[in-house]
Amino acid sequence: MPQPVTASGTREVPSERRRVWEALAVLAPYCAVCDVSYVVAGRGAPGRGTRFACVPGRLGDGAEPPAGAPQGEIVEWVPRERVTTRLRLTPETWTTTIELADAGPGATRVTITVSHEPRSDGRLTRRVAQRLMRGGVREMVQRTVDGELDRLPAHVGQLPTA
């Protein structure tokens, strides 16, 4: 079984933890910062076990995700502290953990950890290819973390002012 490639990073955001949680952990139907639509299965408040589809671009209200859209699930949910999602694509699985902590009055420390794991079919050639690509995957995962951290202010900024 191939080992996941993991990267992590931390930034402070000049906003209260409640607001940062709302901006990052609550699956809005559309995120303009990422240009991604989320279609959540079922009704009610999100939490552990909530399933969703992730679709590039904006879907119309009530639209169903296209066949083959990446499927995700919230695998850990500790309100205002930590959320972990797992997104399954055909050749890979991405796991993202967002951890929040107070960083002083009106500030939040955000730690984002991303893991990438290829989905193995057990063939030797696939294992060899994975070893050769591991360095490139490590760089891609770190760029993903860095990009998410860079977009933190925009995520918080798209929330209505309180």
- What's the rounded Cα separation, in Å, for the pair 25 and 30? 13
Q: Judge whether 51 and 71 are in contact, CB under 8 Å.
A: yes
- What's the rounded Cα separation, in Å, for the pair 138 and 161? 37
Q: Judge whether 97 and 84 are in contact, CB under 8 Å.
A: yes
- Ranges of H-type helices in the chain: 17-25, 124-150, 152-157
- pLDDT for 124 equals 44
Q: Judge whether 28 and 156 are in contact, CB under 8 Å.
A: no
Mean pLDDT by 10 residues, the chain (162 residues): 85 96 90 92 86 91 87 96 93 94 96 88 52 72 94 93 70
Q: How far apart are the first and last CA of the chain?
A: 48
Tokens at 50, concatenated: 């909530």
Quickly count: other Cβ atoms within 10 Å of residue 119's Cβ: 12
- pLDDT for 121 equals 56
- pLDDT for 137 equals 83
SS3 assignment for 24-37: HHCCCCEECCCCEE
- pTM, entire model: 0.87
Q: Judge whether 117 and 130 are in contact, CB under 8 Å.
A: no
- pLDDT for 161 equals 80
Could you tell me how many residues make up the chain?
A: 162
- pLDDT for 48 equals 93
